[in-house]
Amino acid sequence: MTPVDTLEANARPLPPTDVTVKDTPNDGGGAITVAWNPSPDDHKGGKVKGYSVFRAEYIDDQPGEFTLVGERPAGKDEYSNDDGNTADGIRYVYKVAALNRVTTETGEVREFVSESAVTLPVTSSPQWFHKRRVNVMVAVILLSFFIVYYIRQAKAGKKLFIRRIAGMEAVDEAVGRATEMGKKIFYISGLGDMDNMQTIASLTILGRVAELAAEYETYLDVPVCRSLVMVTGREVVKEAYSKAGRPDAFKPDQVHYLTDDQFGYAAAVDGMFVREKPATIFYMGQFYAESLILAETGNSIGAIQIAGTAMPAQLPFFVAACDYTLIGEELFAASSYLSKEPKLLGSLKGQDIGKGIILVALIIGVILESFGVWQLSNLFMVK
Amino acid sequence: MRREVPLLITAIVGITFVVSYFIPHFPFNRMDAWFADWFSIIAACAIVLGALNLIKLSAQKVLDRKEDWVYSLVIIFSFILITVIGFWEGRDYRDPGTAFDWLYNNMYNPLSATMFSILAFFVASASYRAFRARNFEATLLLIAAFLVMIGRVPVGDFFTSFMPEGYRFSDLANWIMDYPQTAGQRAIMIGIGLGVVSTSLRVILGIERAHIGSGE
């Protein structure tokens, strides 16, 4: 044997085996999943550096020219073209090659490739249902059922018990304080835009605060950092003033735009706080690092502050710097709580039932999994 | 009609979004992108309203010589300057070496960094108030915070170097973060998830309609 033949005999890996192909499940089409048994030489210190996946169209029961479509490192046994570059309806065949690279004594890099057999033809197609999301669907249906059920109960006149939320109880007091002191109220709706559920919840609370402010004849200032929130916020405040019987007191410029920039907004609002020294400040919505900058400035001027956000990282800041904080779900519950409308309170009750179900599942799951009986947590995996 | 139409649009869009989560097939798998495009277009139009409102209020303040009107003058000047330079330099306005880029790096970035850096001082002052041992819960918080902070710096493990591995300050800090803290955080996240679903359902069903406004 020549030295080259010896090198080849030593360096060429065995090919991967049992290459199977299938239409990638639960996708919008355009993807095929290829799986294989790794080469027997694929182990630590073995002869496999990686795998190359080749594809060809299968026309007239013949494979066309194979082209390289993907690569995987050693140890992997699956490939899927998640970029969706296969055409649905076209038949494809695949082969997978194990690859080794060797640097010879002369410094030349040589590649040794061993190809698997060609697979059976496969076609990609889109699916009409994501089977791995059945659990989410069941949860949504269950929760929706409870919410709708309790809304109907509330409409029928059944009295529903809703636990007290201290932060919401304080809204009247906070607005009253501003009235007594003859100072402004500031309402900060956070950095979220109108596609954010926290902003929608915030604007609903704004409606209630604006109604109170209109009744008490206290000036409500709403500086916002999103132009769409400005437009929507104006409508909300305008309606609240009309509801309170004070449409004449509404001024469109009460809800005004500052900037989309996070710290520019924080600086502008801080400046307004320091110059105008409001008696009451509300922070409701989505906040990031600016939360403490705003809340500490508000605290330093002695304003009563009520905050609410569903951003877990900002909650400690608000708890530390504000008088009352609506924690997470309380922000979403606040609008229902403030309105006292049966329909909204009913939805709150349905939400609590959902929480109860999760609580029971958690307790059962902890017991089952602690004793290794059953992996209940798998039921709650979202893919 | 001005109230019913937005409610109808909200319901259709909301239901479509929910359905598209479970259907990967076209056109549902493209809905997300399409709605995002529409949102961007509407937001781009609305930004003009926002900018006009900002200029209007600032100009009024300057004209009426209200208190601190000079700040409003700075806003107007900065707004005009950055807009004019942005348009003047065309589509490559963000390339290195442009005047816009210079303003961004030498004016905007330092101002932004200044705002962010004062957060450190505010964290200190807020922590001072939050960690006072006023009652049992606050004392618990104080102890937990102390352990986490000392466990996050090398000196913590230096003090407990005589302890076996797994029982040092850093291990205690990790335990607090991995178990009690994660448990608390997850409880909040579950509540938030349910709250979002519940509010979304109220919006889709038209029960929650304050955000639509008066429609007059």
For residue B68, the distance in angstroms to the closest alpha carbon of chain A comes to 9
CA-to-CA separations, A176 to A164, A198, B160, in angstroms, rounded: 20, 26, 53
Nearest to A333 among B39, B195, B213 (CB): B195
Torsion region of A252: left, alpha or beta (phi above 0 gives left; psi -120 to 50 gives alpha): alpha
pLDDT computed for residue B71 by the predictor: 92
The CA distance from B169 to B146, in Å, is: 10
A373 CA to centre of own chain: 32
B29 touches chain A (CB under 8 A): yes
Q: What is the pLDDT of residues A277-333, one digit of tens each?
A: 999 999 999 999 999 999 999 999 999 999 999 999 999 899 989 999 999 889 998
Q: Say yes or no to pLDDT of A165 above 90.
A: no
In chain B, alpha helices (H): 4-22, 28-63, 69-88, 99-103, 109-130, 136-151, 154-159, 169-176, 182-205
pLDDT computed for residue A290 by the predictor: 95
For residue B174, the distance in angstroms to the closest alpha carbon of chain A comes to 18
**A320 in Cβ contact with B131 (< 8 Å):** no
pLDDT computed for residue A210 by the predictor: 95
Flag if A230 and B21 touch (Cβ within 8 Å): no
For residue B125, the distance in angstroms to the closest alpha carbon of chain A comes to 8
Under the banding of pLDDT at 50, 70 and 90, the label for residue A4 is low
On chain A, the residues whose CB falls within 8 A of the CB of B191 are 327-329, 355
Interface test mutation site (partner A, options B10, B15, B53, B57, max chain A beta carbons within 10 A): B53
Angle made by CA atoms B96, B98, B101, in degrees to the nearest 5: 65
pLDDT computed for residue B134 by the predictor: 78
Task: Tell whether ipTM is more than 0.85.
Answer: yes
Q: Say yes or no to pLDDT of A111 above 80.
A: yes
B179 touches chain A (CB under 8 A): no
A16 versus B141: the higher-pLDDT residue is A16
Q: Residues of A numbered 228-257 whose beta carbons fall under 8 angstroms of chain B's beta carbons: which are they?
A: 228, 230-232, 234-236, 238-239, 242, 253, 256-257
B192 touches chain A (CB under 8 A): yes
The CA distance from A20 to A294, in Å, is: 58
Q: Say yes or no to pLDDT of A1 above 60.
A: no
Q: What is the pLDDT of residues B130-166, one digit of tens each?
A: 877 778 888 888 899 899 999 999 999 999 999 998 8
For residue B28, the distance in angstroms to the closest alpha carbon of chain A comes to 9
On chain A, the residues whose CB falls within 8 A of the CB of B195 are 201, 310, 328-329, 331-333, 351
Q: Say yes or no to pLDDT of A230 above 90.
A: yes
Lowest average pLDDT, out of A84-98, A167-181, B111-125, B132-146, goes to: B132-146
Beta bridge partners of A100: A112
Flag if A257 and B49 touch (Cβ within 8 Å): yes
Residue with tokens 């913590």: B156
Flag if A329 and B195 touch (Cβ within 8 Å): yes
Q: Say yes or no to pLDDT of B193 above 60.
A: yes
Residue with tokens 């999301």: A133
Q: What is the pLDDT of residues A39-98, one digit of tens each?
A: 999 998 889 999 999 999 999 999 999 999 999 999 999 999 877 789 999 999 999 999
